[in-house]
Chains A and B, each alone.
Chain A
Amino acid sequence: MLRGVLQLGLGRGLLTRGLGSRGGGSTVDWDEKVSEVKKKIKSMLPGEICDPLYDTSHLPPEQSDVVIVGGGVVGLSVAFWLKKLEKRRGAIRVLVVERDHTYAQASTGLSVGGIRQQFSLPENVQLSLFSINFLRNINEYLAVVDAPPLDLQFNPSGYLLLASEKSASTLENNVKVQRQEGAKICLMSPEQLRNKFPWINTEGVALASYGMEDEGWFDPWSLLQGLRRKVQSMGVLFCQGEVTRFVSSSSRMETTSGEEIIMKRIREVHVKMDNSLEYQPVECAIVINAAGAWSGKIAELAGVGKGPPGTLQGTKLPVEPRKRYVYLWHCPQGPGLETPFVADTNGVYFRREGLGNNYLGGRSPTEEEEPDPSNLEVDHDFFQEKVWPQLAQRVPAFENLKVRSSWAGYYDYNTFDQNGVVGPHPLVVNMYFATGFSGHGLQHAPAVGRAVAEMVLEGHFQTIDMSPFLFSRFHLGEKVLEQNIF
């Protein structure tokens, strides 16, 4: 009976295929057939992926030395430096796994793009100085044959940080640290501030610090595209997929005090394709967690934090996504071309955008006001109630402004001390972190990429000593607090 049905089906198929196909092939898609045949012939040639069952070219490779989870500016910077510092060309195979190639929610593209040396920690100042050197010579670092040079649209207008009576001495100490590292920052009194920037209302300002050089803002999207282009030319593989599982092997070790701990080593990364259940297990030697706001989830998948609280096994990666709003407004009588990136005493910040009297700005909410990070919807009332009054108080011209547009982005917020986590995990020995920068990841990306690459290739930090930023500080409780976060 089955044979009868099959014959009927085939027969119907023969009949319904149409009289035209027999005659001249007008309904048959010759182009598609020709390209299919070409693909089959190509796959028979040596060196090509030979999978006669189905096409696997969209899948990542089955084996890769380094897998970088996250293809934002930090992940790409790590890939760049790994390829640049490898001892022999082609020595390391690097795979960058990025879930969303449109970067719709990635912090890089949504960033305001500022870069400054005005930090309180000397290591952060060094990171910024390295990164600004990288940006200044970007066309030497990221040159690709036959491609046009990159234009980062850097505005060297500097940062202006205002301090009230309470925080004036902290600001002065910070400037001392910054100057020691080589940054060119000058301190200004309220009177000097009024002379230089007549549009500022200096009420409540006791001291201000102004970056004269090497500070400003640039276009993060062009940096991302430049890195992508260069990194692809260096042979790094890209994959659009999501990391869903780590397969690791563990071994029991005993510490010097007799305690038993379990050391893990990630063997495979399961990368799931978009919109399908298909996944590819990628064998790897090293995994770099540069997943930004979602690094906490990736770390949990790897088994970081699974243990009794208070122990090293139980210490989770304290990085979570925090939503921040950015508003773009137009103010016809606003400050002119000389406007720096102004950060007020209460956390409100703004900068000029373009030549048309448009300004970008926002404010970091307090802990109680933290918005829900499950989506990127913008709260316009936040601007009306929390941002605009402070702006208008500091710059009276901002009383008449009109919001043109707004967007929201994530900070990969380190709830412990608002500073980055860089370096290997003590127990999951081949997972390296490059995340948790809480709003200054973009400006430190080139330097952090180099630090992680040095750690992976040499085993220790060479250019900048990032040992205060290792994971172990979460367990030991040693905070490296950065005061200038906004």
Chain B
Amino acid sequence: MTATLFLVLFVGSLLGAALGSALGMAGGIFVVPLLTIVAKVPFPTAVAVSLVSVIACSCASGPRFLAAGLTNLRLAVVLETATAFGALVGLAMIGVVPDPILYGIFAVVLAVSAIQMMTGRKEARLGRAHVGSSPERALFSGTFVDHDGSTVSYRASRVPAGAGLMFGAGTLSALLGIGSGVLKIPAMDAAMRLPIKVSSATANLMIGVTACGAAAAHLIAGTLDLGLSAPVVLGSLLGSVLGAKILVRAAGPSLRIVFTVVLVVLAVPMTANAFGLGWGVGP
């Protein structure tokens, strides 16, 4: 690997993780196109490296959510049974699904993610508990202290529907090497009606487990390119931390626009590769 390529992958992963972290997503959706288009790496190799970077992002940004009490651990572990099973199915599909179809699915995910980013996430209508009132002792209930100091109580609903979408998220994660926010967001925001902060925090924790089995499979099989993983993982770790500290101060709408533009730009060559045109830039 040349020094230039190392730097390009490091900076690209850093920016992707930082942008994703600021918006509550992992950076895997940027890493795979970065590796396939810029570094001209085969799709399966890019997926393997991206899975490790997704775990890195999850572990780096998870502590602040956990310390703030935003992560619903009980809901996470129940939904993880669905995502982990989905990831196992996705692993079984590796080598069966042709690369052009994977590129096509990835392009669709990029496009849908761009649409979701522009339409924005809608906070479910919750009955906010007054300070001093206690939450119901429901199965997946929780409370957190919001930015205005108020205590917010919530309860996840329609968990089976959410689990179904999470199964799909797990399959996509193993197949494409991403965090699958495109399915997690509708699952947790719309289907389960979780507050956005709770769904972001809980989903962030879950993706580490979802990607873990698939990443371990690649490491054991010897299909994980360790040399490529160095700049990508280091960039992802640093970007996840910086994104939380620096980019969160930037204007929200500006970040969304940048994120959307990047997603759309990346969707073009991925679509081209789906049709076998072999687009790539390369150093």
A binds B: no
- Taking Cβ atoms with an 8 Å cutoff, the residues of A that contact B are none
